[in-house]
Structure 1
Amino acid sequence: MGGYHFKHERLSEVIGLERGTDIVQFRGIPYAAIPARFRQSTLNDTLPSQPFDARQPGQVYRPSSFLGGIPATEYGCLNLNITAPTGALENAENDKVPVLVFIHGGGFISGSQCIAFNGREISDPTNLIQVSRKCNQAVIVVTINYRVGPLGFLASKDLVTYNKTHGEPVGNYGLHDQARALDWVSRFIHGFGGDPGNITVNGTSAGAISTHYHTLFPDHKFKRAILSSGTIIGLGPQTMDEHEANLSKYVEAVPNSNQPNCTTVELLQSAPVQELVTAVPAFLSYPLVDGQWVTRDVRNSLAIENPPDIMIGSCAYEQDVSEMLLEHATTTKTLSDDRFLLTVKDILSTNGIFHDAVDLLIADRVIREAYNIRRNDSADLQNWAALIGDITLRIPLVFMASLQPDRPMLIYEITATNPFTNSSMHYQKANHGINDFLLFDVAEDAVPEKHLEEWRRAVAALQSVWLDFCHGLTPWPPAKSSGIGFGPFYRIDNTVGGAVCQTLDELVGKPTVKRWSIVLRQARKFQTQK
């Protein structure tokens, strides 16, 4: 049998995939088991076979054209990949290497650690680890799968009762899956040469929001966190009433929804998995306010003891996400005012800056003028998208720092643009998620020659910052108020690669700062009116 045969101190023999001569990847390691649909996962402390062949991709929860035919299964989707320098594996009993755990995005509705672009897995860390070795900052990278969509985030009062009957936490199955993955890494990464006391968690989009939740967990098992384009301030959890309304749509949509003598939980558990996950078209799902880990009052929840170090950032063109969501809702050339504004309100409904003042936000003349919003329909989609992108993904960074002035926080902005000509919606924009392409750099050969030099500058800058942070270094000073304003920050661009910006004006430009100031001022005003 080929492959890289490795003897783990607690898991026994694992066969990995050799990526060249100096990197090994262990794929599809099952970190937890799912006892039943809508049950909390339980940690695995052994591997299912000996030796365990970890050379193939782990299964995912549903098939997708973005996953290249990877097998899908509901109960086998909780797996992770470990990619490590051979030197760390061969010296596993001695020097320990910092660990980076990556949580994928997808709006809590989709996504996987194996999502592909141009036939390559976007979050394959082979390139990053090669770079880390060359600059003497070796890391081990772990990427994880977790339950998403209805399997990961459906909630109802009946499901609360069901979970309590089994003596387990309520709902948020996907977040608890992630916590089990972090438990597994903390317990077993030592045997792969990783340092369990030096773990950094990084997530993008919903993965960043997830990471933010984990920083608030009282027993988090990591030292640092990188939040890339997502916070619980920008897109927070939903209440039980909101989840009940969503669950009713699934009950109506699944087959045999009128079965007599069948509880709601039994109905949803008996539905074929593919029919359940496709029953209600959606681009977003939300965690549940569970009264324990996840709260609606996100401002007060940020005040915790012994918080991890945080690096947080966004991309200059985050509005592409809101453009996609608004375009998805546009079934005619121009939606009616009510229908369009309802979609805007739905997207902003969990925003922690405006709380329950979203109606005031949408109607506010000052904010509408700042974003040149003249109409209440899809004819003004671009301007509405810019407002939504700022409120959900860009402004929360500054807002968080203002809420915690005594807590060191590294803040960055990515202005480096997408070079891929086959990505027409994102081409030449610093789009949502471009940080993953920069970090893992899996498709450099798809970058046109005219963009290659600037792309390499941006990749080198971002990878350097991430590796420094994983090794406990401070790539630039934390942001704080001073005589010249609030700063400093870090910009990752196409021109010089990376540069420290002393002020917010320098980072994003005075017109943008003016708009953000108006938004924050009006938010404070609305709170006093309530």
Structure 2
Amino acid sequence: MVSLSTTYLGEIRGETDGNVEEYLGIPYATLRNRWADAVLVSDREGPVLDVTNYGPTAVSPPSGCDLEFSIMQHSLPRGDLPQSHTGCLNLNISIPHTTEKPPVLPVFVFIHGGGYEIGASSWPQFKLARTDENYPSYRLGPFGFLTSDELRQRGYKANNGLRDQRVALNWIARHIADFGGDPENITVAGVSAGGASVMHHLHSTQPLFKRAIVMSGSYFLLPPLPLSKHEENYKEAMAALGLKHLPVDERIKALLDIPAQEIASHLLRSVIAAPAIDGDIITECPTFADLAAPNNEYPKAKAWCEELLVGDVQMDGNIIRVLMPGAEVNCADKFTGILKAILHAHPETAQKILDHYGISPSNPDDQVFTAVLDYFNDIAFFMPTLAAAQGWAGKAFVYYFNEGNSWDGPTKGRAGHLLDTVYLFENFREFLEPEQQALGRQFAGGFIKFCHGRAPWGSVESNDLEKGFNARVYGSRDGSDGAVRDVHYPFGGDTDRRGLLWECAREGVSLDQLLEVFHLFRGF
């Protein structure tokens, strides 16, 4: 065990794990009830605070961790962790263990993904053991994102999950110096829904961090919805819970009293867990046109966040198969109908897309759905990477993760969603070949350089993807030599990326139109 005297929190007791000190389950905020605003823990008095064990996780499906293992196609030992609807706002901190006073460390904050429905700061696949690292939990599912007029009228704001993350960032800025971290040198990273969260935080008028990392996630994949759509969502939720016909005050009381796991399980598939355009945390619906424009003030963080690192995995789109079970049935007709309706003024472009991806009703459903997923991968994961890099005002660094998954499963041989985190955090190293372990060290090393303010590789120059593009490619599908290489073109060749949609956008069809195809297919 190890003890630490802090400025505002008194003495806290953590644990050592090899060369790392861990402070687990530190409460960063309190909740009056499950729907209320998070209140920052600014200071505390009392006996030594024991933070040697993980804190409760947010209420979510108990099978969530195993689901994520299935996407990665490998598992790790894990313990059973309690869930709490009011005690889940805690974070974990890892710092180097040394007998000498260490130098002030850059701070790395990681926001987990999980579609705003699953995830926890204590899952073993994301165990942190480098620099000064922080991993907050936040409210998920209905408690994180359900909203309605009647809830807001009673003081329960929209976007609890994102608000929780903001409070965690404020806690880190206030307290991290006691752990040896530099509050003026914070990098915030997120994967999938966590990456989308980071992009939302880039719209804050308040400076929150110095650098941002967006991994395989954007608010185009999980778009914020207008309050009118959330109102419909809420009505469906009340019907699913059997509360539809209660008077408002009784309904609110029931939402406070019904066991939290019961609410979460009833609403898992009947309502959408998505942020809301609330005029506060999220003020407008994001567009590709705004994100890709270098000479605007979109997002607001162009004024205060110095650098951006953004990247994707070669086949991130495989996650959509998990999100849409059964969607392969008659998918060629459905996709074709939506695409041609959206591009009714551009029939030649629509046909070019169908031919390029091989989407035809004459092919078997499963084959067509794989092609549809390629389209979804490109519009929801790859195009946001390019748009963010082109539009960023400061230095933007791009990576492509292409190393094929060597474990048995649906994406064996291809780089699927979350595989970059397998290599980044190195928690699966004993299940990887030596050359794969070396790739992981190089991948993580690039992120560490970025956190230290050093260029991990060449940045995109002059917001020009044609003449000034640079990216780092990690791995390859076929295991060929040159596992790490730099490219100077955004697609084709060694990138293993398709550029048709980007080219279509230069010929009169907008990326926002092409994104609408994805959302209509999903039923958004």
Smaller-chain TM-score bracket: 0.7 to 0.9
- Residues 502/271 of structure 1: CA separation in 2 closer, same or farther (3 Å cut): same
The 8 Å contact of residues 117 and 141 in structure 2, kept in 1 or not, is answered as yes
Which shows bigger deviation, 56-65 or 293-302?
Answer: 293-302
Q: In 2, Cα distance between the equivalents of 1:160 and 1:503?
A: 48
Equivalence for 1:320: 318
1:249 paired residue among 236, 259, 272: 236
* Cα drift, residue 183 of structure 1: 0.5
- State the SS of the aligned residue for 1:268: helix
2:377 paired residue among 379, 389, 392: 389
- Residues 413/501 of structure 1: CA separation in 2 closer, same or farther (3 Å cut): same
What does 1:156-195 correspond to in 2, within 5 Å?
Answer: 156-163=148-155, 170-195=157-182
Equivalence for 2:456: 475
- Residues 183/526 of structure 1: CA separation in 2 closer, same or farther (3 Å cut): closer
Q: Does 1:436 align with 2:444?
A: no
Q: In 2, Cα distance between the equivalents of 1:254 and 1:501?
A: 53
Equivalence for 2:49: 52
The 8 Å contact of residues 450 and 456 in structure 2, kept in 1 or not, is answered as yes
Equivalence for 2:69: none
What does 1:31-430 correspond to in 2, within 5 Å?
Answer: 31-47=28-44, 50-62=47-59, 64-65=62-63, 66=65, 68-87=79-98, 91=101, 95-115=103-123, 121-126=124-129, 129=130, 139-163=131-155, 170-260=157-247, 262=249, 264-282=251-269, 285-299=273-287, 300=290, 301-303=298-300, 304-326=302-324, 328-330=325-327, 334=329, 364-375=350-361, 378-379=365-366, 380-404=368-392, 406-421=393-408, 424-430=409-415
* Cα drift, residue 256 of structure 1: 4.9
Q: In 1, Cα distance between the equivalents of 2:385 and 2:493?
A: 13
The 8 Å contact of residues 399 and 471 in structure 2, kept in 1 or not, is answered as yes
Equivalence for 1:351: none
- State the SS of the aligned residue for 1:83: strand
**CA deviation map 1:199-255 (0-9, x unaligned):** 100100000111111122111321001000112244321111211122122101114
* Cα drift, residue 506 of structure 1: 5.4
Q: In 2, Cα distance between the equivalents of 1:171 and 1:482?
A: 37
- State the SS of the aligned residue for 2:449: helix
- Residues 525/462 of structure 1: CA separation in 2 closer, same or farther (3 Å cut): closer
* Cα drift, residue 49 of structure 1: 5.3
- State the SS of the aligned residue for 2:12: strand
- Residues 175/90 of structure 1: CA separation in 2 closer, same or farther (3 Å cut): farther
* Cα drift, residue 57 of structure 1: 1.0
* Cα drift, residue 416 of structure 1: 1.5
- Residues 19/361 of structure 1: CA separation in 2 closer, same or farther (3 Å cut): farther
Q: In 1, Cα distance between the equivalents of 2:466 and 2:247?
A: 69
Q: How many residue pairs were aligned?
A: 481
Q: In 1, Cα distance between the equivalents of 2:141 and 2:497?
A: 38
Q: In 1, Cα distance between the equivalents of 2:426 and 2:246?
A: 51
Q: In 1, Cα distance between the equivalents of 2:460 and 2:107?
A: 25
Superposed CA RMSD: 3.2
- State the SS of the aligned residue for 2:126: coil
The 8 Å contact of residues 457 and 496 in structure 1, kept in 2 or not, is answered as no
- The letter of the residue matching 1:476 is W
Q: In 1, Cα distance between the equivalents of 2:343 and 2:15?
A: 50
* Cα drift, residue 369 of structure 1: 2.3
Q: In 1, Cα distance between the equivalents of 2:512 and 2:472?
A: 32
* Cα drift, residue 359 of structure 1: 9.0
- State the SS of the aligned residue for 1:18: strand
Gaps of 5+ in 2: 66-77, 291-297, 517-524
The 8 Å contact of residues 199 and 218 in structure 2, kept in 1 or not, is answered as yes
The 8 Å contact of residues 5 and 16 in structure 1, kept in 2 or not, is answered as yes
- State the SS of the aligned residue for 1:435: helix
Q: In 2, Cα distance between the equivalents of 1:51 and 1:361?
A: 67
- Residues 358/189 of structure 1: CA separation in 2 closer, same or farther (3 Å cut): farther
Equivalence for 1:517: 503
- State the SS of the aligned residue for 2:224: coil
The 8 Å contact of residues 105 and 208 in structure 1, kept in 2 or not, is answered as yes
The 8 Å contact of residues 460 and 497 in structure 1, kept in 2 or not, is answered as no
- Residues 388/508 of structure 1: CA separation in 2 closer, same or farther (3 Å cut): farther
- State the SS of the aligned residue for 2:229: helix
Equivalence for 1:485: 467
Q: In 1, Cα distance between the equivalents of 2:492 and 2:119?
A: 35
Q: In 1, Cα distance between the equivalents of 2:84 and 2:497?
A: 49
Q: In 2, Cα distance between the equivalents of 1:465 and 1:261?
A: 53
- State the SS of the aligned residue for 1:313: strand
**CA deviation map 1:73-107 (0-9, x unaligned):** 111100000000023x8527xx3111100000001
* Cα drift, residue 386 of structure 1: 1.1
- State the SS of the aligned residue for 2:416: coil
Query: Structure 1 length as normaliser, TM-score?
Result: 0.82
Equivalence for 2:73: none
Q: In 2, Cα distance between the equivalents of 1:512 and 1:143?
A: 34
- Residues 179/482 of structure 1: CA separation in 2 closer, same or farther (3 Å cut): closer
Q: In 2, Cα distance between the equivalents of 1:335 and 1:244?
A: 31
Q: In 1, Cα distance between the equivalents of 2:501 and 2:247?
A: 56
- The letter of the residue matching 1:162 is R
- State the SS of the aligned residue for 1:298: coil
- Residues 240/188 of structure 1: CA separation in 2 closer, same or farther (3 Å cut): same
- Residues 442/512 of structure 1: CA separation in 2 closer, same or farther (3 Å cut): same
Q: In 1, Cα distance between the equivalents of 2:421 and 2:430?
A: 16
Q: In 1, Cα distance between the equivalents of 2:227 and 2:237?
A: 15
- Residues 40/510 of structure 1: CA separation in 2 closer, same or farther (3 Å cut): closer
- Residues 211/522 of structure 1: CA separation in 2 closer, same or farther (3 Å cut): same
**CA deviation map 1:369-411 (0-9, x unaligned):** 222211399542111111111111111111233344x542111
Q: In 1, Cα distance between the equivalents of 2:20 and 2:58?
A: 28
Query: Structure 2 length as normaliser, TM-score?
Result: 0.83
